[in-house]
A and B are shown apart, each in its own frame.
Chain A
C-alpha cells in the first residue's frame, strides 16, 4: 500500500523568508511524486512532479521540491514567500506499477500562512 505523510498541519512564515512544506512517502518501487496547491473553495492546481532524474524539481510560481530517496521525502520549497502563497498544499504519490490506472494517494494537506 502507498501512503503520504505531511507532518505539519500548518506552517507559518514571514513574507520574504524561505518556506519549506514537508512530505514523506511510502510506496513499493520508485515513486512518482506530486505537489498540488488548493485555494479556498477551489480545485487543486498542479505545481510540480518528480518522475526520475535530477532530485531537484522546479515548478510553477517559483516553487521547487527536493526528492530524497534515502529519507523517502519530497519537501516543497520556495526561496522567498509571498502573501499570495497562502493556501493548502497537498503532496501526492503514485506507484509505478499502478495496475494500469492512476490511483493517486494524497496527504492530508498543510496549510501555509505567509505573514505580511
Chain B
C-alpha cells in the first residue's frame, strides 16, 4: 500500500508569483484535504475534494484553488503569492468524507515566499 506523497519537497518563490503543489493520495482513497501549517502553528484547513469536486472550504481567499483528478491525485494552486503564504502545505487523504474517517497525511511541501 502506497502512502500519501507530495511534490515538491521544498519550493522558493517571490511575491506575486503563482505556485502549484501536487499530492498523490493513498491507494483506495477518494478524498483529499489540504492544510496550511505556518511555523509554530497547527494545520489550518484550506479545502477538501471528494470525487473531483470541492465540497468544503476553510477561511482562505479565492487565490487558493485546487483540482482533483480521476485517479484522485490533487493539486493546490496559489496565485499572487504573499509573504504570509510561506508555510508547510500538507495534503491528507481518506477513504471517504465521513467525519469518522481517518485522514492520512503526506510529508508536506515547504513553501518559502521572498
Which residues of A are interface residues toward B (Cβ below 8 A)?
Answer: 4, 32, 34, 36, 41-46, 49, 51, 90, 92, 94-109
15 contacts between A and B (CB under 8 A): A4-B42, A32-B99, A42-B107, A43-B105, A44-B92, A45-B105, A46-B105, A92-B42, A97-B99, A98-B56, A99-B56, A102-B103, A103-B48, A103-B56, A106-B43
CB-based nearest A residue for B44: A106
Given contacts A44-B43, A108-B42, A109-B42, contact A102 B99 (CB under 8 A): yes
Bound CA–CA A4/B43 (angstroms): 12
Task: Identify the closest chain B residue to A34 (Cβ).
Answer: B102
- What residue of chain A has the Cβ atom nearest to residue B42's Cβ? A106
Q: Is B106's CB within 8 Å of the partner chain A?
A: yes
Q: How far is the CA of A101 from the CA of B96 in the complex (A)?
A: 9
Residues of chain B within 8 A (CB-CB) of A99 are 56
Residues in B8-50 with C-beta less than 8 Å from chain A: 31, 33, 40-45, 48, 50
Interface-centre pick from B50, B98, B106 (highest chain A CB count, 10 A)? B98
Chain B residues with CB under 8 Å of chain A are 4, 6, 31, 33, 40-45, 48, 50, 55-56, 58, 90, 92, 94, 97-108, 110
> What residue of chain A has the Cβ atom nearest to residue B96's Cβ?
A102
Contact (Cβ within 8 A) B43 A32: no
Tell me whether chain A's interface is mostly helix, strand or loop, or mixed. Answer: loop
Interface pair B42/A107, CB less than 8 Å apart: yes
Residues on B with C-beta less than 8 A from A42 are: 107-108
Output the nearest chain B residue to A4 by Cβ-Cβ distance. B42
3 closest A-B pairs by CB: A101-B56, A106-B42, A43-B105
Q: Would B42 and A90 count as touching, CB distance under 8 A?
A: yes
From B6, which residue of chain A is reached at the shortest CB distance?
A43
